[in-house]
C-alpha cells in the first residue's frame, strides 16, 4: 500500500448555530485567506457540517465557490469520523495529514483530532483558525490541548500558510 502523503484543510462546524458569533467573526477572515491559499495550491478542502445546525458561513462558501476540490461531510456526532465518509474521503484523496480549523475546538475538533491520530493521520491545528476552547484551554494553554494528544499546533495564520506551502498535496 502506497503511503498517504496528501494534505488537506478540514474546516469544521462553521455554521450559523455553532459557536459564538464573536469567536466566528474573529476567525472567519483568516479561514477565508487559508481557503484561498488551498485553492491556489490545489489542496483539497473538506468542509464538515453538523447536521441540523444550518449551513456553513456564506463568506467561507464564497471563498471556495467554483473550486472543484471541495468535499462536504455531514456529521451527527462530535467526532467527524463517526458515521461519516471522512475516512473514505481521505483514503480516496490520499490524505495523510491535515490542517484543522473551525469552532467548538474543545469538543468537536478535539474529538476528531484524537480519532484522526489513532487512525494514523497527522493533525495540525491553528489558533487563528479555531475557536470555542472553553475556559480551561483559553489563551496560551491552547497549544497544550493539541500537543497532549499528539497533534501539532501553530498559533498564527502566517504559520498556517507556511505549513500549507511547505507540505504540498500529492495526488494518490
Cell numbers linked to 41: 495550491
Entry pTM: 0.91
Averaged over 68-89, what is the pLDDT? 95
Structural domains of the chain in order of their starting residue, each with its CATH number: 6-166 (3.40.50.850)
Say yes or no to pLDDT of 1 above 60.
no
Name the DSSP class of 18: S
Reported as type and span, the H/E element at residue 9 is strand 6-12
Strands (E), 26-168: 45-50, 70-75, 95-102, 122-130, 152-154
Say yes or no to pLDDT of 2 above 50.
no
Report the C-alpha gap between 112 and 91 in whole angstroms.
16
Cell numbers linked to 107: 469538543
Amino acid at each position: 500500500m502506497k503511503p498517504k502523503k496528501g494534505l488537506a484543510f478540514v474546516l469544521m462546524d462553521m455554521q450559523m448555530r455553532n459557536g459564538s458569533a464573536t469567536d466566528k467573526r474573529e476567525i472567519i477572515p483568516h479561514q477565508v485567506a487559508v481557503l484561498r491559499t488551498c485553492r491556489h495550491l490545489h489542496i483539497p478542502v473538506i468542509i464538515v457540517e453538523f447536521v441540523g445546525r444550518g449551513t456553513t458561513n456564506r463568506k467561507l462558501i464564497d471563498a471556495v465557490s467554483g473550486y472543484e476540490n471541495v468535499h462536504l461531510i455531514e456529521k451527527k456526532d462530535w467526532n467527524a469520523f463517526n458515521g461519516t465518509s471522512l475516512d473514505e474521503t481521505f483514503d480516496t484523496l490520499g490524505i495523510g495529514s491535515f490542517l484543522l480549523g473551525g469552532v467548538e475546538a474543545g469538543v468537536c475538533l478535539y474529538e476528531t483530532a484524537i480519532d484522526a491520530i489513532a487512525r494514523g493521520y497527522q493533525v495540525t491545528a491553528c489558533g487563528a483558525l479555531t475557536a470555542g476552547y472553553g475556559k480551561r484551554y483559553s489563551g496560551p494553554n491552547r497549544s497544550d490541548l493539541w500537543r497532549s494528544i499528539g497533534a501539532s499546533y501553530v498559533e498564527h495564520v502566517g504559520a498556517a500558510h507556511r505549513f500549507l506551502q511547505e507540505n504540498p498535496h500529492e495526488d494518490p
